[in-house]
Amino acid sequence: MIEELKAALADLDATICEIGRDISAPINDERMQIVYAKAQAIGDTGAVNDVVQGVEQARELVAQAMRVLIGAVHKLADYQREL
């Protein structure tokens, strides 16, 4: 049972690290330049700015959730050590 818990925690930790790397990656500038060029062509860069702002807000919310999840994993690890 304890070994299964250790394995599950290790897997969860690896998943958290992977998600963290994806979340912290910057928005691809090359893609954004293409999107802005297309938006300028139709005269609406405001919508693109709104989308970028929404993505940044979503990233922050996910980062907050990740911090809570990491805290929970640390508490589980502490509990496991006590066992």
- Assess contact for 48 and 35: CB atoms under 8 A: yes
Instruction: Outline where the chain has alpha helix (H).
Output: 2-24, 29-42, 46-82
Provide the whole-model pTM. 0.51
Q: How many other C-beta atoms lie within 10 A of the C-beta of residue 5?
A: 14
User: Max Cα separation, the chain?
Assistant: 63
| Measured distance CA(28)–CA(35) in Å, rounded | 11
Give residue 21's pLDDT.
Answer: 66
Q: Quick one: angle between helices 2-24 and 46-82, nearest 10?
A: 160
Would you list the domain boundaries of the chain? 2-82
Residue partners of 83: CB distance under 8 A and separation at least 6 = 2, 5
Give residue 25's pLDDT.
Answer: 63
Q: What is the pLDDT of residues 28-74, one digit of tens each?
A: 667 777 777 777 787 777 777 787 787 778 878 888 888 888 888 88
